[in-house]
Amino acid sequence: MINKESPIPMYYQIQEHIRENIKQKKWLMGEAIPSERILTEQFGVSRMTIRQAVQGLVDEGILMRKRGSGTYVSNEKVQQPLKEITSFTKLMEQRGMKASSNITVFSIRKPNEVEAEQLEINMSEDVYHIERIRLGDQIPIAIETSIVPCKLAEGLTNEDIQNSLYEFIEVKKGQALGEAKQSIEAIGASKRVAELLDLDIDSPILQIERVAILKTGSPFEYVRSQYAGSRFKFYL
């Protein structure tokens, strides 16, 4: 199960197994995971390695410890690491949830001044305007409005954004994602946001505005993500 000859560290291989167990629902949310002793036997590695693997997943928020009673698969809010660019689809997968999108806007238009400035493009260039309600296991978690320069995502289809925008950029366009500049604030849900996310008006919303940049240095997405505060949290 664990390849001790592999250059991939053993703790990391174990983490991948654990993620897979959660994804395939062999380990269920909110339930205790097997003890260190059992995992040590199961994976045929030292207790130290198991501890390192489990601690990493606790730090990521995928597992959680309960004092005196062991380690559990988190059933808390979906958590997103703030320092990385992670696609919504991947984030849900890591949690063993199925991501889906309801597309509410998909059009090509000219950018406004702020968008052009953030994306470092000319106001005469075309951009895709994409608005999606993002769901995890059919529960609405966020509304995301992404503005993407057409020249960086030529040929983007409805099907692509139904699935994963980042997969399109990385796999179909062969572009690596670099870093992001972002700001985060708490707001109350407007009438429209409340309706789309199935919340009460004025429920807490975490709003992130960010510019994601390709490894080449070109800004490729100016996005506003509005997360249902009751279903999502960020960690750093």
How far apart are CB 120 and ligand 16G at their closest, in Å?
17
How far apart are CB 207 and ligand 16G at their closest, in Å?
9
How far apart are CB 225 and ligand 16G at their closest, in Å?
4
Footprint on residues 175-234 left by ligand 16G (CB under 6 A): 208, 210, 212, 221, 223, 225
Q: Which is nearer to ligand 16G, 36 or 179 (CB)?
A: 179
Q: Which residue is it, tokens 């000219």?
A: 110
> Which amino acid, 143?
I
DSSP letter for each residue of 116-128? HHHHT--TTS-EE
Contacts of residue 148, Cβ cutoff 8 Å, sequence gap at least 6: 127, 128, 130, 156, 165, 220, 221, 222
| Helix ranges, 113-230 (H) | 113-119, 158-162, 165-167, 191-197
How far apart are CB 167 and ligand 16G at their closest, in Å?
6
Binding mask 86-115 toward ligand 16G (x if CB under 6 A, else -) reads -xxx---------x----------------
How far apart are CB 166 and ligand 16G at their closest, in Å?
3
Q: Which is nearer to ligand 16G, 14 or 99 (CB)?
A: 99
Q: Is 43 in the site for ligand 16G (CB under 6 A)?
A: no
Q: Which is nearer to ligand 16G, 27 or 232 (CB)?
A: 232
Q: Which is nearer to ligand 16G, 49 or 226 (CB)?
A: 226
> Which amino acid, 135?
L
Instruction: Count the site residues for ligand 16G by CB under 6 A.
Output: 16
Footprint on residues 155-174 left by ligand 16G (CB under 6 A): 164-167
* Residue number closest to ligand 16G, CB atom: 87
Q: Which is nearer to ligand 16G, 17 or 224 (CB)?
A: 224
Q: Which is nearer to ligand 16G, 21 or 207 (CB)?
A: 207
What is the CB neighbour count within 10 angstroms for residue 231?
17
Of 156, 150, 155, nearest in space to 127 by CA: 150
Burial annotation 26-61 (CB, 10 A radius, 16+ → b, else e): ebeeeeebeeeeebbeebebeeebbebbbebbeebb
- Alpha-carbon Rg for the chain in angstroms: 20
Q: Which residue is it, tokens 């429920």?
A: 203
User: Measured between alpha carbons, how far is 140 from 232 in angstroms, rounded to an integer?
Assistant: 11
Give the interface with ligand 16G as residue ranges (CB under 6 A).
87-89, 99, 144, 146, 164-167, 208, 210, 212, 221, 223, 225
